[in-house]
Amino acid sequence: MIAHHPRTIAEATSALADGAIPLAGGTDLMVEVNFGHTRPEVVVGLRRVSELAEWDGNRLGSGVTWRRVEESGPRALAQAARTVGSPQIRNAGTIGGNIATASPAGDGLPFLLAVDAEFELVSNEGSRQVAAREFFVDVKKTTRRNEELIAAVNLPETLPERQEFGKIGVRNAMVIATVCCVVTRDSNHSTRVALGSVAPTPIRAMRAETMISSIAMPTDADLAEFARLVSEDVRPITDHRSTEEYRRHAAGVLARRLLERCLR
Amino acid sequence: MIVSFFVNGEKTTARITEPASLLDVLRDQLGLSGSKSACEQGECGSCSVMLDDVLVCSCLVMASDVEGSTVVTVEGIATRGLHPVQEAMHRAGAVQCGFCTPGFVVTAAALFDANPAPSRDEIKEALAGNICRCTGYGAIVRAFETLAEGNR
């Protein structure tokens, strides 16, 4: 086995170009290794690349840990960070790893989708920005090429005034989401709804967004209709964590609750 | 490949032939069996160690990635006698089968190093990643509440 320990992005992308598997906090990759699902022969450990851990305003290096996001991230992203695994997991796991793994249940992903975050992908050939909505294509499948490193996450200059994250799971801590959701709302009533664990990728509930964005002061009937549209917009499956029916129902209830918090 | 790192203050080398976890290297190569191997997916916390002063699950650390790093295991938590968190667990009888205890010791040591007088909620949140299959949480939390009380 070979392990690279680069200190710069250029060294890291050279290793990736040679076929190395990227390793950030290890909280996803090592589970696959421990259970015999993968056996990487060449690995590039990213935690010594100090540039990846930089956080400058709206630009978060991919190596920023959940612990740091929990402490100083934008409201809904910090709320999401607080629900990632345990303190041990949050100390190791990174936002870049969450994006690269692209689990439908990735806790940080609905926020990134809701605010139109862009991901900075770097390779030996150069760099490109990919919008979150174009990045996730299927369960754990993204438009990242193997030789590309996720260097940073760029958030928009102005973030929504009101933003709330919520997660439903079988218990309060250490849980993978049955449904997770971010709702944001601006003073012009423009509303975004993004959800995880209810489709092959994190998704937006577009019809629900359009409907509620045109209403300045939603009534109870409007909120009920909003919840119904969210339940219709999602595409969940039944698996070992929950059923399609429950996820559909829970998505609507959760999104409505978060919207109500935004309206307070 | 050979990986060089520090474990409990001593310079150590390990021979890595496959993508093993730090936990496996600690237990199988270095004879440090205090860190326990249970879930192997970061859910139970029984393999908790300090890696470069940060609390992590050693089952989720790739051994090759600790090159040049500093690791402290439960064996290295107390420099002389018992660590205050070990003393507190001993006094409170906060051990049932004992399997999870090393993980709780390392996690609690990290908590009290950062915050000598945590509240009950802070204690519970800090311990959220450590599972006691005997469900002996009452005595464990009380042990650390008493320790925190004494530090106020």
Asked whether the whole model's pTM tops 0.90, one would answer: yes
**Selected residue of B62, B67, B69 to mutate for chain A interface (largest A Cβ count, 10 A):** B62
* B66 φ, ψ (degrees, to nearest 5): -95, 5
- DSSP 8-state assignment for residue A89: H
Answer yes or no: are the C-beta atoms of A28 and A106 closer than 8 Å: no
Task: Tell me if chain A has a CB within 8 Å of the CB of B65.
Answer: yes
Whether residue B147 has pLDDT greater than 90:
yes
* Residues B51-61: tens digit of each pLDDT: 999 999 999 99
Partner-chain contact A30 B65, CB within 8 Å: no
Calculate mean pLDDT across residues B96-118. Answer: 97
Tokens of B108: 């609690």
Answer yes or no: are the C-beta atoms of B122 and B115 closer than 8 Å: yes
Residue in A2, A40, A86 closest to B1 by CB: A2
Chain B: give the shortest CA distance to residue A26, in Å: 6
Shortest CA distance from A30: residue in chain B: B60
Whether residue A5 has pLDDT greater than 90:
yes
Q: Which residues of A touch B107 (CB under 8 A)?
A: 87-88
Q: CA dist A188 to A115, A160, A181, A185, Å?
A: 15, 10, 21, 8
Of A218, A239, A241, residue with least CA distance to A229: A218
**Mean pLDDT, all residues of chain A:** 97
**Selected residue of A34, A66, A103 to mutate for chain B interface (largest B Cβ count, 10 A):** A34
Quick check: helix, strand or coil at residue A23? Answer: strand
pLDDT for the residue numbered B82: 96
Chain A: give the shortest CA distance to residue B12, in Å: 18
Among the ranges given (A67-71, A236-240, A257-261), the one the predictor scored with the smallest mean pLDDT: A236-240
Calculate mean pLDDT across residues A119-128. Answer: 98
Give the 3-state DSSP-derived string for chain B, with helices as H, strands as E and coil as C: CEEEEEECCEEEEEECCCCCEHHHHHHHHCCCCCCCCCCCCCCCCCCEEEECCEEEEHHHCEHHHHCCCEEECHHHCCCCCCCHHHHHHHHHCCCCCCCCHHHHHHHHHHHHHHCCCCCHHHHHHHCCCCCCCCCCHHHHHHHHHHHHHHHC
Whether residue B92 has pLDDT greater than 90:
yes
Buried b (16+ CB within 10 A) or exposed e, B1-19: eebebbbbeeebebebeeb
d(CA A98, CA A27): 10
Buried b (16+ CB within 10 A) or exposed e, A2-12: ebbbbeebeeb
Task: Tell me if chain B has a CB within 8 Å of the CB of A215.
Answer: no
Q: How many beta-carbon pairs below 8 A join chains A and B?
A: 100
Calculate mean pLDDT across residues A209-221. Answer: 98
Partner-chain contact B59 A35, CB within 8 Å: no
Of A200, A228, A12, A38, residue with least CA distance to A121: A12
d(CA A81, CA A90): 8
- DSSP 8-state assignment for residue A170: S
Task: Tell me if chain B has a CB within 8 Å of the CB of A52.
Answer: no
* Residues B7-51: tens digit of each pLDDT: 999 999 999 999 999 999 999 999 999 999 999 999 999 999 999
pLDDT for the residue numbered A234: 95
Rounded to the nearest angstrom, the gap between the alpha carbon of residue B112 and the centroid of all alpha carbons in its chain is 13
Q: Which residues of B touch A23 (CB under 8 A)?
A: 62, 65
Task: Tell me if chain A has a CB within 8 Å of the CB of B66.
Answer: no
d(CA A175, CA A188): 35
pLDDT for the residue numbered A175: 85
pLDDT for the residue numbered A31: 96
Partner-chain contact A92 B1, CB within 8 Å: no
Greatest distance between any 2 Cα atoms in chain A: 61
pLDDT for the residue numbered A171: 82
* Residues A125-182: tens digit of each pLDDT: 999 999 999 999 999 999 999 999 999 999 999 999 999 999 999 887 788 999 999 9
pLDDT for the residue numbered A172: 78
| pLDDT range class, residue A80, cuts 50, 70, 90 | very high
d(CA B120, CA B118): 7
pLDDT for the residue numbered A170: 87
